[in-house]
Structures are given as structure tokens and as C-alpha cells.
């Protein structure tokens, strides 16, 4: 079953004219059409998020799915249906997400997973663990350990500013928390061969051995038993919202899970029914396109590529107005021909940030028909994003070292 469910497809299978290679560290895709998400989902054996699943989500949770979910930014999953089963039965599960500390200024693309995770935490009142992979960045980048440490501390403040519930959220930095989860890291390492690691992640003879061992460290937090003093239960299901490029880590995790030792304290009957650890469930999101359109990368070194969380309303407006447009260049042409809304960046962003379905639909139809001009759509987008960024800035300004300490201290979370 595990085989069918999680094929260890090499990450570099060819597609289209350009080879599509997606790893947790690099995204290479056709520059015209962008990433072929359907192919990824198929090759990697994940499931589509269907309207039926979304309807069930709403029935079970009593919450309208977040726009990022109902409009397809989160497009694929593993076992979300099982998480809903378990929630319906009144069983607890926990959320797990993370960030690789970096010096890059946070942009909208970084905000998305945290905004979404914060929403999930609220909907399910679920405990959350957030991993800061300072070790990963140390191994992959030209960074010293003290530098990686400092970045992790800074990034921690940004994460706190997303408004997570401190009584239910534990944030940890790998280099400091490792002792608590090292046993699980070892149990995972023992069950993943070098050839699985190279086939899944594309390591080669030149990769330092820290990299080869790292996947076990990102895998370990998927198991509640890695948090004996934080979650305080032997076994609990886990849901991981993440970008699709992180899936290779969790495919390996899911292959290993049933072969892990059954955590101490799991009642005998349950252990017999299901030995080992639970496979983590996943919710995958796409990469959000840069303001400059498909193929562009959001990057601190290209200021117009993205809205940054430090931007002023004026800067936001200016950047949004320059975004890649699916509309016609000349007003007369736009009136006559309308816009290609699937190519239009402002429309893509509105789909993720504008909650009002009716308004969105009306903007899309009128823009496609030429009743609306590109500038008008962009104007609306600036109005929608600005308050989101400003709210973040207010919270970020109020984050103190004590607050970070509170999130990072090892303590039992509320369940």
C-alpha cells in the first residue's frame, strides 16, 4: 500500500520541452507555462482537493473554507479526509509547519502559508508546532551557525506576528530543540536508505553528509512523540500545510511511519490495530506568481517582484500598478477585446486575498469583457492587500523578545 500511495518518483522526471525539476531547494519549470501542478500531483501520488471534499470540510468544521482553499491555491492533499474523519469523531490532531530562516525580507509569498496555518489553527482549535530549520540553512547556504541562529530569532518574530495562539503554539529552532526529538530522528534515519534519499532529493557524491541526513530532521516533527513535553500524548494525527516543493520530505515520512516503533503509552489494542506512527496528512499549495508574471521569482533583490511586508501603502500601490497584466495595452482594445484573466496577476492575487465571492466573480466577468480596465482591477487589489500588510506591521512592531520566548519555551500546550 505504501508503495502505491507514495511512489518514490525521482524528482527530475521530464515534462514539456523544458525539464520540470522541483526539489525543496530549487524550482525549475517551463518558463512559459510555469509549473505543471497536475503532473506533480500525479507523479507524486497526491490527491486533488475536490469540491466534494471542500463541502465536507464546511459541514464538519462549520467554517467556510478559506479563499486560498476554495479557489485552488491549496490544490492537493494527502489524507485530509482522514483528518476530517478524526475531527468529526472528536479526536485531536496537531498542525505542523516550518520555515527555513533567511535574511530575505518577508514578502507576500512567505505570508501565505502562515496566514493559512493561523486560520487552520483557529478553525480546528488545534495545537501547532513550527520548526525553524537553522540547521538546514547552515548546511545548504554560505552561513555560519551563529548567523543562522540570529536569522532564526529574527524570523521567529515575524512568525509570532501572524497572530498564532500562544497557548496552542510551540515554535522551535532545530539546533536548540534537537535533544527532545533526536530519538525519533534516529529511528527515521535507520529506516531510510541512502538510495531512497538520493532518488527522492537528488543528492550526489558531492553533497555533504549533513544534507543527506537532514530529511529525517524535517520528518520528525510529524510525529507527536517528538514533543513529549509539548503535546504530551504518545500518538496523535498530524496535518502539515506546506508548499508542494516540501512534499518529498513528507513522502519519505509517510513511507517510514508505519515501520516506526509504536510510541510508548499507546494502548495495546490500538497498537495492535495500527502499529507504528500515523502517516502525517498534507495540504499542498502552489507557488504564488511574482508580480511580474509567470516564470518570475519573488525576491528581495528584485524589489518590483513582490509586495514585501515592510512596504508602505504607497509602495504597495506603485508595485501593484506595475504588475503583469492580462488586459490589453490600449484602452480601446481592452474595451473591445477584454482581458485574459488567467494570465492576469492582479486577478490571481484577488482570488487568494478577496473573500467576497460575488465581488470577485463580478470583477472577473467585467474585466474579461472589457468593462473594467486593468488599472481598476489593480486599484482594487491594492485596497485589498494594504490593510492586510498594515495589520501585520502593527503586530510585528509589538512583538517583544518575551513573546518569542513564550512561544519557544518547552511547555505543555493547550489541547
Chain residues that interact with ligand TRP, rule: CB under 6 A: 24, 96-100, 131, 133, 136, 218, 240, 242, 246
Output 201 or 367, the one with its CB closest to ligand TRP: 201
Q: Least CB distance from residue 404 to ligand TRP, whole Å?
A: 18
Closest approach of ligand TRP to the CB of residue 170, in Å = 13
Closer to ligand TRP by CB, 238 or 316: give it.
Answer: 238
Q: Which is nearer to ligand TRP, 99 or 107 (CB)?
A: 99
Q: Which is nearer to ligand TRP, 24 or 296 (CB)?
A: 24
CA distance 380 to 363: 9
- Phi, psi (rounded to 5 degrees) for 129: -115, 135
DSSP 300: T
Question: Under a CB-based contact definition with an 8 Å cutoff, are residues 164 and 128 in contact?
Answer: yes
Quote the least distance from Cβ 233 to ligand TRP, whole Å. Answer: 20
Judged by beta carbon, residue 249 or residue 392, the one nearer ligand TRP is 249
CB neighbours of residue 120 within 10 Å: 20
| Burial of 195 per CB tally in 10 Å (0-12, 13-18, 19+) | exposed
Minimum CB distance to ligand TRP, residue 218 (Å)? 5
Closest CA to 248 of 297, 186, 202: 202
Nearer to ligand TRP, 170 or 367 (CB): 170
In angstroms, give the least distance from the CB of 268 to ligand TRP. Answer: 32
Separation CA 17–CA 21 (nearest Å): 12
Secondary structure (3-state) at 318: helix
To ligand TRP, the closest distance from the beta carbon of 28 in angstroms equals 17
334: helix, coil or strand? helix
Give 94's strand partners. 238
Amino acid at each position: 500500500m505504501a508503495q502505491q500511495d507514495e511512489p518514490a518518483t525521482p524528482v527530475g522526471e521530464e515534462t514539456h520541452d523544458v525539464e520540470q525539476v522541483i526539489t525543496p531547494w530549487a524550482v525549475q519549470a517551463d518558463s512559459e507555462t510555469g509549473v505543471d501542478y497536475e503532473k506533480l500531483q500525479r507523479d507524486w501520488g497526491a490527491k486533488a482537493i475536490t469540491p466534494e471534499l471542500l463541502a465536507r470540510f464546511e459541514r464538519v468544521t462549520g467554517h467556510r473554507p478559506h479563499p486560498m482553499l476554495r479557489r485552488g491555491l491549496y490544490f492537493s492533499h494527502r489524507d485530509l479526509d482522514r483528518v476530517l474523519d478524526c475531527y468529526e469523531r472528536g479526536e485531536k490532531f496537531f498542525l505542523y509547519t516550518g520555515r527555513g530562516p533567511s535574511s530575505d525580507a518577508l514578502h507576500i509569498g512567505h505570508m501565505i502559508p502562515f496566514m493559512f496555518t493561523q486560520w487552520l489553527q483557529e478553525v480546528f482549535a488545534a495545537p501547532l508546532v513550527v520548526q525553524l530549520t537553522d540547521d538546514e540553512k547552515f548546511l545548504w547556504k554560505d552561513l555560519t551557525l551563529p548567523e543562522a541562529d540570529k536569522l532564526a530569532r529574527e524570523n521567529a518574530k515575524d512568525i509570532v506576528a501572524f497572530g498564532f495562539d500562544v497557548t496552542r503554539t510551540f515554535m522551535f529552532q532545530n539546533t536548540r530543540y534537537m535533544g527532545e526529538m533526536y530519538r525519533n530522528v534516529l529511528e527515521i534515519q535507520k529506516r531510510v536508505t541512502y538510495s531512497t534519499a538520493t532518488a527522492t532529493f537528488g543528492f550526489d557524491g558531492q553533497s555533504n553528509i549533513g544534507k543527506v541526513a537532514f530529511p529525517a530532521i524535517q520528518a520528525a516533527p510529524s510525529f507527536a512523540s517528538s514533543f513529549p513535553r509539548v503535546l504530551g500524548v504518545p500518538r496523535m494525527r498530524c496535518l502539515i500545510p506546506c508548499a508542494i516543493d516540501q512534499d518529498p520530505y513528507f513522502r519519505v515520512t509517510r513511507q517510514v511511519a508505519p515501520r516506526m516503533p509504536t510510541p510508548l503509552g499507546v494502548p495495546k489494542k490500538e497498537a495492535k490495530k495500527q502499529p507504528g506512527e500515523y502517516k502525517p496528512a498534507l495540504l499542498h499549495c502552489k507557488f504564488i506568481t511574482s508580480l511580474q508574471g509567470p516564470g518570475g521569482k519573488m525576491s528581495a533583490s528584485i524589489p518590483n517582484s513582490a509586495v514585501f511586508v515592510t512596504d508602505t501603502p504607497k509602495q504597495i500601490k506603485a508595485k501593484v500598478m506595475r504588475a503583469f497584466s492580462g488586459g490589453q495595452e490600449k484602452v480601446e482594445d481592452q474595451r473591445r477585446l477584454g482581458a485574459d484573466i488567467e494570465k492576469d496577476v492582479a486577478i490571481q492575487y484577488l482570488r487568494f486575498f478577496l473573500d467576497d465571492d460575488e465581488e470577485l466573480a463580478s470583477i472577473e466577468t467585467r474585466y474579461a469583457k472589457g468593462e473594467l480596465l486593468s488599472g481598476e482591477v489593480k486599484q482594487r487589489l491594492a485596497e485589498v492587500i494594504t490593510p492586510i500588510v498594515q495589520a501585520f506591521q502593527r503586530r510585528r512592531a509589538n512583538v517583544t523578545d518575551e513573546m518569542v520566548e513564550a512561544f519557544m519555551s518547552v511547555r505543555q500546550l493547550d489541547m
